[in-house]
Amino acid sequence: MHEFQYKDGMFCCEETPLAEIVKEHPTPFYLYSHKTVMDHFNKIKDAFKELDPVICFSMKSNSNLSICKALVNAGSGLDIVSGGELYKALKIGCPPEKIVYASVGKTEEEIKAAIKKGILFFNVESTPELIMIDTVAKGLKKKARVTIRLNPDVKADTHDYITTGTKEKKFGIDFASAEEIFDNANKYPHVELKGVHIHIGSQITETEPFVASVKKVLDFIEKSSVQIEWLNLGGGFGIIYEEEPARTAEEFARALVPLIKGKGLKLIMEPGRFIVGNSGILVCKVLYVKTGATGKKFAIVDAGMSDLIRPSLYEAYHRICPIAERKAKTFKYDIVGPICESGDYLALDRELPEVLAGDYLSVLGAGAYGYVMASNYNSRPRPAELLMINGEVKVARKAETYKDLVKGEKILREIK
């Protein structure tokens, strides 16, 4: 469930009609519901409470400071993938002992900063990376805590670009190489090899791939020459965009908890999309409606792939809800942005009651991998991020200005 629904014909965020919000806030903008974010976080926490996991919200899905801070205040840790995310995590006061760090390409500087701050774990993705962490930790006269990211070679039914747990992908370490690492743990005296990590992909709506990978990993743990204390399950729980099965946190828990319970393992989870995906929308305005030579209707809106790239990048489906229900004849529309790319669309062939210039449309399910993937392509300022909190809309991040577009840039003297 989320807090974006029609009430008496008006599309609302919690109790407030979008029609009121667009009077105060120019489009395009992202709008998040604090209530929904908290609700989804608590659903995971409650469902897995028997295992008392350290839940580390995956910042890459939405690194808005207010959202991350709200989650940290509620007891969440953070899953980071870069020095930038470490900076933001510390800025909002996330305790370092609740930060886990994945990424196949951590730089020496990033590793140094994370060791200095004393993060909970590096999720290590290769032997050369492990050597680098060991070397950096030695230089700092510290010990770094490490889990080995295993690649369980399990295929999940999701988009290829967000499949990460199969052997041909760049992520993680195969079981044989991981075994070698654990068997030779004394080669890395400045790391504490404490656990294993998996993350098999994102937007996975079935429980089987998780079950299959956990079984493989538990088998690995049982046979390991080193006592493994921690199991990090990663993220990946899918949400409803279109007609996906409504997989609840309890269903995922029902499949996974019995496998892990009683094994004496401390658990970490890294959910992203499940918490924020349906907690945010992108709101845009129809600039023009035109009919192409083939009869196809285009609703051209003031948001595009620079604001929300998921449809263009993953052919992702997002529900489109006009902010006021209109009882009119329906037509099929391509909802397209102003960007100079044919791939710039938010929805294709979408049946909607007649759309007119000046209408406002909400693009649902935009809370995860939305703003974080926005760009300045076509020199378009990024939109604002608004947060509905305690019944009021607050600006959590201002829209960029044209000045922001040239920040840090200069015309070189040689050009003048």
Name the segment binding ligand PLP (CB under 6 A); options: 40-48, 87-95, 271-279, 306-314: 271-279
Residue 102 found at the interface with ligand PLP (CB under 6 A): yes
Among 27, 33, 36, 58, binds ligand PLP (CB under 6 A): 58
CB of 125 to ligand PLP, least distance (A): 9
Q: How far is the CB of 274 from ligand PLP (least distance, A)?
A: 6
Annotated catalytic residue within 12, 13, 94, 340: 340
CA distance 269 to 196: 12
Half-sphere exposure of 116 (CA within 13 A, CB side): 11
The alpha carbons of the chain give a radius of gyration, in whole angstroms, of 23
**Angle CA 96–102–106, to nearest 5:** 95
- 130 with 178: CB under 8 angstroms? no
Q: Count of alpha carbons within 13 Å of 271, Cβ hemisphere only?
A: 26
> Which residue in 195, 209, 271, 304 binds ligand PLP (CB under 6 A)?
271
Least separation in angstroms between residue 232's CB and ligand PLP is 8
**Which residue is associated with the tokens 């990460």?**
164
CA distance 167 to 155: 9
Asked if 235 touches ligand PLP (CB under 6 A), the answer is yes
> Binding to ligand PLP by residue 304, rule CB under 6 A?
no
Which CA distances in Å does 141 have to 134, 135, 178, 274, 409?
Answer: 10, 10, 25, 39, 39
**Beta-carbon contacts of residue 375 (< 8 Å; ≥ 6 apart):** 306, 309, 382
Residue 101 sits in the site that holds ligand PLP (CB under 6 A): no
Query: Toward ligand PLP, which CB reaches closer, 199 or 380?
Result: 199
Nearer to ligand PLP, 79 or 302 (CB): 79
Q: Which helix (H) or strand (E) holds 403?
A: helix 402-405
| Contact pick of 273, 297, 350, 382 for ligand PLP (by CB under 6 A) | 273
Q: Can residue 83 be called a binding residue for ligand PLP (CB under 6 A)?
A: no
Find the shortest distance in angstroms from Cβ 352 to ligand PLP. Answer: 29
Strands 99-101 and 297-301: unpaired
Site for ligand PLP contains 53 (CB under 6 A): no
**Cβ-based nearer residue to ligand PLP, 66 or 202:** 202
DSSP, collapsed to helix, strand or coil, labels residue 8 as coil
Q: Is 280 in the site for ligand PLP (CB under 6 A)?
A: no
Identify the residue among 272, 304, 337, 370 touching ligand PLP (CB under 6 A): 272
Q: Is 77 in the site for ligand PLP (CB under 6 A)?
A: no
Q: Output the smallest distance, CB 368 to ligand PLP, in A.
A: 6
Query: DSSP letter string over 12-43?
Result: EETTEEHHHHHHHSPSSEEEEEHHHHHHHHHH
Residues 6+ apart with CB under 8 A from 91: 65
Of 77, 83, 165, 234, which one interacts with ligand PLP (CB under 6 A)? Answer: 234
Smaller CB distance to ligand PLP: residue 144 or 275? 275
Tell me: does residue 125 bind ligand PLP (CB under 6 A).
no
CA atoms within 13 A on the CB side of 385: 23
111, 184, 191 from 138: Cα distances, Å: 12, 17, 9
**Residue showing tokens 């959910």:** 271
State the nearest-atom distance from the C-beta of 197 to ligand PLP, in Å.
Answer: 7
The correct pick among 36, 64, 202, 312 for binding ligand PLP (CB under 6 A) is: 202
Distance CA 246, CA 111 (A): 39
Residue 380 interacting with ligand PLP (CB under 6 A): no
Task: Identify the three-state secondary structure at position 305.
Answer: coil
- Cβ at position 235, least distance to ligand PLP in Å: 3
Number of residues that bind ligand PLP (CB under 6 A): 17
Known active-site residue 340 = yes
Beta-bridge mates of residue 297? 291, 333
For residue 199, state whether it binds ligand PLP (rule: CB under 6 A).
yes
Contact flag: residue 64 with ligand PLP (CB under 6 A): no
112-120, 183-191, 265-273, 326-334 -> range binding ligand PLP (CB under 6 A): 265-273
Nearer to ligand PLP, 119 or 335 (CB): 119
> Which residues are catalytic, by number?
340
Binding region for ligand PLP (CB under 6 A): 58, 60-61, 79, 102, 199, 202, 234-237, 270-274, 368
